[in-house]
């Protein structure tokens, strides 16, 4: 994808990937005499129901009902952080962490990178690529909330 893309090619790629089960995404930046380019290597399963029928008929989970109140607060903040990461990497949010993985993270008693490996679906590569970034964003959002709540209670 040329660096000069106005967003049309990226939008087209994201539309295609939205119908697929993305397994892994690698991106690299290249530059030569013809210009600068982003190269994406995407491993995916086709969105065809015959390839992964259990995923196609899967009911949408309401995590507000599945998680307790504190876990849901953590889950919601993790989703915000995932969106920031996905946007900065120009990829679908579910390719960073799925909602199911975020719910698993929200259930952890302690949020540390090495603990993420205990969550079903999260392996070394995902922790290496996104784990520390997710936790750093999460911690900064929690500090932001505490500061705002403290400020609000002082003003009351």
pLDDT digits (tens, 9 = 90+) for 40-74: 888 877 655 444 444 555 668 889 998 999 999 99
Cα 33 to Cα 2, 36, 42: the distances in Å are: 13, 8, 26
Mean pLDDT of the 143-147 span: 72
Q: Give the whole-angstrom CA distance, residue 94 versus residue 91.
A: 8
Q: Are residues 82 and 149 in the same domain?
A: yes
Q: Confirm whether 55 is domain-assigned.
A: no
In DSSP terms, which residues pair with 44 in a beta bridge? 22
pLDDT digits (tens, 9 = 90+) for 82-133: 999 999 988 888 889 999 999 999 999 988 888 999 999 899 899 999 999 9
Long-range contacts of range 39-48, CB-CB < 8 Å, 24 or more positions apart?
A: 39/1, 40/1, 40/13, 42/17, 44/17, 44/20, 45/20, 45/21, 46/20, 46/21, 47/19, 47/20, 47/21
Q: Are residues 106 and 129 in the same domain?
A: yes
Please state, rounded to an integer, the average pLDDT across all residues of the chain. Answer: 83
Mean pLDDT of the 130-141 span: 89
Q: Give the whole-angstrom CA distance, residue 76 versus residue 14.
A: 23
Q: Confirm whether 128 is domain-assigned.
A: yes
Total domain count for the chain?
Answer: 2
pLDDT band at 17 (very low <50, low <70, confident <90, very high): confident
In DSSP terms, which residues pair with 36 in a beta bridge? 31
Q: Are residues 96 and 144 in the same domain?
A: yes
Q: Confirm whether 79 is domain-assigned.
A: yes
Give me the CATH number covering residue 66: 1.10.150.80
Helices (H), 38-131: 53-56, 63-66, 69-88, 93-96, 99-106, 113-116, 124-126
Domain containing 141 equals: 60-156
């Amino acid at each position: 994808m040329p660096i000069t893309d106005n967003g049309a090619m990226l939008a087209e790629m994201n539309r295609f990937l939205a119908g697929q089960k993305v397994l892994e995404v690698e991106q690299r930046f290249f530059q030569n005499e013809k210009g600068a380019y982003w190269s994406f290597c995407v491993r995916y399963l086709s969105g065809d129901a015959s390839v992964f029928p259990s995923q196609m008929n899967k009911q949408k989970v309401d995590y507000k009902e599945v998680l307790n109140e504190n876990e849901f607060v953590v889950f919601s903040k993790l989703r915000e952080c995932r969106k920031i990461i996905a946007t900065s990497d120009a990829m679908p949010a579910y390719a960073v962490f799925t909602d199911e993985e975020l719910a698993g993270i929200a259930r952890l008693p302690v949020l540390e990178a090495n603990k993420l490996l205990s969550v079903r679906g999260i392996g070394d590569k995902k922790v290496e690529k996104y784990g520390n970034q997710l936790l750093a964003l999460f911690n900064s959002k929690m500090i932001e909330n505490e500061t705002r709540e403290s400020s609000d209670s002082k003003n009351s």
